[in-house]
Structure 1
Amino acid sequence: MERRYSDYTYEELRQEVAELTEKARKAEQMGMVNEYAVHERKIIMAKSYMMNPEEFQSGETYEVEGDPAHTFHIQYMNGVFAWGFRQNKQGEKVTEEEEEALPISMLGKKV
């Protein structure tokens, strides 16, 4: 039975990220796009559990890693997930959904 990242120690998470990074690199070299994407998502989740959710505040807006055209406005936090919506640089909501969740490791600097 697999353990949840929330049960890992910081050191175990660091090791998991290193192993997943190596697996992702190998999958990319072999042209296995789907496997690469799975490893990348796992890396994002593991890194989220290495961060402090209290560093992110409801009502604040943050950059989105890998999406320079948009920012993310947090409506509320739930564990290592920030719930809210994406905005363009003018502050206009750009997603159709009422809200979406992003792992906190995908968030960058506060805007």
Structure 2
Amino acid sequence: MEKRFSDYTYEELRQEVAQLTEKAQKAEQMGMVNEYAVHERKIIMAKSYMMNPKDFSGGETYKLDGDLEHDFYIVYMNGVFAWGYRQTKTGERVESEMIAGEEYEALPIAMLGEKLS
């Protein structure tokens, strides 16, 4: 049975990120787009467990790594996931980003960048 990232030590997470990065690079070189995407998602999750969720809290807005058009407003935290919604640079909620009618979206904290407010 595989170990959960939540059960890893910081050093084990660091090693896992290094191994996954290597696998992602190989998949990218071989043109295996789906495999590359899977490794990238695992890297984000592992990095999230290396971060302190207490550094994030509801009512704050953060830049979104990889999305220059939107920021992310956190409504509440649950473990290493920030629940909230994307918004424009002017602070307007982006309704089209709602997934399957859900009110909020959950993002691993490693996807969040600099705190804006």
Shorter-chain-normalised TM-score: which range?
A: over 0.9
**Pairs aligned (count):** 111
- In structure 1, runs of 5+ residues without a counterpart are none
Which residue does 1:73 correspond to in 2?
Answer: 73
TM-score, scaled relative to structure 2? 0.93
Which residue does 1:93 correspond to in 2?
Answer: 93
- Is the partner of 1:36 in helix, strand or coil? helix
- In structure 2, runs of 5+ residues without a counterpart are none
Which residue does 1:105 correspond to in 2?
Answer: 110
Which whole-Å CA distance do the structure 1 matches of 2:79 and 2:58 have between them? 13
- Is the partner of 1:62 in helix, strand or coil? strand
- Is the partner of 1:83 in helix, strand or coil? strand
Which whole-Å CA distance do the structure 1 matches of 2:74 and 2:21 have between them? 28
TM-score, scaled relative to structure 1? 0.98
Amino acid at match of 1:11: E
Q: How high is the sequence identity, in percent, across the aligned residues?
A: 76
Moved over 3 A (4+): none
- Is the partner of 1:44 in helix, strand or coil? helix
Which whole-Å CA distance do the structure 1 matches of 2:113 and 2:45 have between them? 15
1:41 to partner: Cα distance? 0.1
- Is the partner of 1:91 in helix, strand or coil? coil
Which whole-Å CA distance do the structure 1 matches of 2:95 and 2:15 have between them? 35
Amino acid at match of 2:90: Q
